[in-house]
């Protein structure tokens, strides 16, 4: 599949085949209303070449095409994304750049407490959702398909929403080459 032309503010999900990835997908599937959980990691595209911002061992940047080559990837775009909207979302998460990954939050996600206990730290999907809350604030309450809350959001919540929302368009789904 040919690589799409990316834009800042596009969002992505990947499927990590490691044991941690499999455990995350299993935990999501247990709670999923559709009994599926295809993806276990999300992030934000920051430039047309595939640079990302995502929560790895720290919240950092890498390249989606290089780092997820051979992995299943979903890339979506909100119909209302613009550079000012992207900037507002990015400003909302800027303070998290460089923070260590909050590993104990994975346990809180498993027991359904992540939306209540957060320590202002974000796992990958919460970082992506928090980006969306900044986009929603910029849009000043206009209906845009952006999120209002980010604590406790997991990758399956995001990808299910992206796939059914009239505001999100899938621009790539397949194995990254």
Ordered per-residue pLDDT tens for the chain, 177 residues: 688 999 999 999 998 777 777 777 777 676 767 777 788 899 999 999 999 999 999 999 999 999 999 999 999 999 999 999 999 999 999 999 999 988 888 787 778 888 888 788 889 999 999 999 998 877 665 655 587 788 888 898 899 999 999 999 999 999 998
Is 6 within a domain? Answer: no
The answer to whether residue 149 sits within a structural domain is: yes
The CATH number linked to 80 is: 3.90.1720.10
Distance of CA 163 to the CA centre of its chain: 13
Predicted local confidence at residue 75, as pLDDT? 98
Strands of the sheet containing 51-55, edge to edge, are 59-63, 51-55, 41-45, 11-14, 72-78, 168-175
Number of domains the chain is built from? 1
**Structural domain includes residue 2:** no
What are the tokens at 15?
């499927």
Per-residue pLDDT at 119: 81
pLDDT of residue 30: 67
pTM for this predicted structure? 0.89
Instruction: Report the pLDDT value the prediction gives residue 78, as an integer from 0 to 100.
Output: 95
Question: Which residue in 45, 42, 57 sits closest to 99, CA to CA?
Answer: 57
In a domain, 62, yes or no: yes
What pLDDT is recorded for position 107?
A: 81
Residue 81 lies in a domain: yes
The verdict on residue 3 lying in a domain is no
Whether 17 is covered by a domain: the verdict is yes
| Domain span including residue 133 | 11-175
Cβ burial, residue 123 (10 Å; 0-12/13-18/19+): buried
Q: How far, in Å, CA of 54 to CA of 108, rounded?
A: 20
- Whole-number pLDDT of residue 158: 93
Nearest to 38 by CA among 166, 151, 175, 177: 175
In this prediction, residue 84 carries a pLDDT of 92
Considering the domain boundaries, does residue 5 fall inside one? Answer: no
């Amino acid at each position: 599949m040919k690589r799409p032309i990316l834009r800042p503010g596009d969002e992505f999900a990947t499927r990590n085949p490691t044991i941690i990835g499999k455990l995350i997908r299993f935990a999501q599937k247990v709670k999923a209303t559709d009994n599926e959980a295809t993806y276990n990691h999300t992030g934000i595209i920051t430039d047309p070449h595939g640079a990302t911002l995502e929560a790895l061992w720290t919240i950092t940047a890498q390249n989606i095409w290089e780092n997820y080559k051979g992995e299943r990837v979903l890339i979506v775009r909100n119909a209302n994304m613009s550079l000012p909207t992207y900037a507002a979302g990015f400003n909302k998460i800027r303070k998290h750049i460089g923070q260590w990954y909050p590993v104990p939050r994975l346990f809180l996600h498993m027991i359904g407490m992540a939306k209540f206990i957060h320590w202002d730290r974000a796992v990958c999907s919460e970082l992506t959702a928090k980006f969306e809350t900044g986009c929603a604030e910029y849009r000043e309450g206009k209906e845009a398909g952006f999120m209002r809350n980010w604590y406790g959001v997991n990758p399956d919540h995001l990808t299910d929403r992206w796939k059914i929302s009239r505001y999100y368009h899938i621009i790539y789904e397949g194995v990254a080459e």
